[in-house]
Structure 1
Amino acid sequence: MPGALSCSAEACVHNQGGLCTANQIHVGGTNATTSSQTLCDTFAEKGFTNAVTHIGNMNIMGEIKQVFSNGSIQMSPYIKCDAEKCAYNSSRICTASNVQISGVNADNSEGTKCSTFIE
């Protein structure tokens, strides 16, 4: 089951008000031992071209649920995770119930990280 995902990477095309609108995301960092060694490989800088390119990865049902929620996070993408040493990684799928991707000043995927990572 996908977990609720919030994101501070405001420059990402998938970020809408701190929530991730992607249907699937990919957390990279195969050999990561800390959160800072992870990254969101799904990051794409906001702009018309990236919006059109990534339209196939929109979480439409999550967005509809979010509109009708009373403040709880309904955006729950499928999270593929390469961080083998993370306690939430189960066969390369994230099992955390709440995931936080950080990247306030990010302008590419290397500027992001999975703050939920724990070894």
Structure 2
Amino acid sequence: MSGKLSCSAGKCVNNINGLCSANNIHVVGSEIHSSKGTECETFMQRGFMNAMSNFTNMNLVGEFKQIFSRDSIEMSPEIKCEAENCVYNADRLCSASNVQVYGPDARSSGGTQCETFKEH
């Protein structure tokens, strides 16, 4: 399943104007009970080497569509999720239509969290 993903982790190589440009992301935090226990494992700090190694996970079609659409979010990554206690976890895929990853000061995945997490 794909969701529209907004992200405040401005130092992430996948963040383009608050949207996630990754094709696939992975949220971890298997037995947690709040968003604070989740992490976006796909986070990589901005830099040339990380940009090059992340090239195969870029959502190029979504990025191209987004250039021409200011009214809607066109970049929709597949969101794999290990948060077993989240109501949106459907067989380890996120079923939420809109996802918010938080991490304005993040320098690693440990500084991020899925704000959309909602316990069963």
- TM-score after normalising by structure 2: 0.97
The structural deviation recorded for 1:65 is: 1.0
Give the corresponding residue for 1:72: 72
Residue of structure 2 in register with 1:41 after alignment: 41
State the alpha-carbon separation in 1 of the partners of residues 32 and 65 from structure 2: 33
Q: Calculate the aligned-residue CA RMSD, in Å.
A: 0.6
Question: What's 2:117 paired with?
Answer: 117
Paired amino acid for 2:25: I
Runs (5+) with no aligned partner, structure 1: none
Q: Distance in 1 between matches of 2:28 and 2:96?
A: 16
The structural deviation recorded for 1:102 is 0.3
Q: Which residue of 1 aligns with 2:55?
A: 55
Could you tell me which residue of structure 2 aligns to residue 93 of structure 1?
93
Shift of residue 70, structure 1, vs aligned partner: 2.8
| Cα deviations by residue, 1:79-118 (Å, 9 ceiling, x for unpaired) | 0000000000000000000000000000000000000000
Amino acid at match of 1:116: T
Instruction: Determine the C-alpha separation between the residues in 1 that align with 2:70 and 2:99.
Output: 19
Q: Equivalents in 2 of 1:18, 1:70: separation in Å?
A: 13
SS at match of 1:30: coil
Runs of 4+ residues deviating >3 angstroms: none
Which ranges in structure 2 are unaligned for 5 or more consecutive residues? none
**Distance in 2, Cα, partners of 1:70 & 1:13:** 21
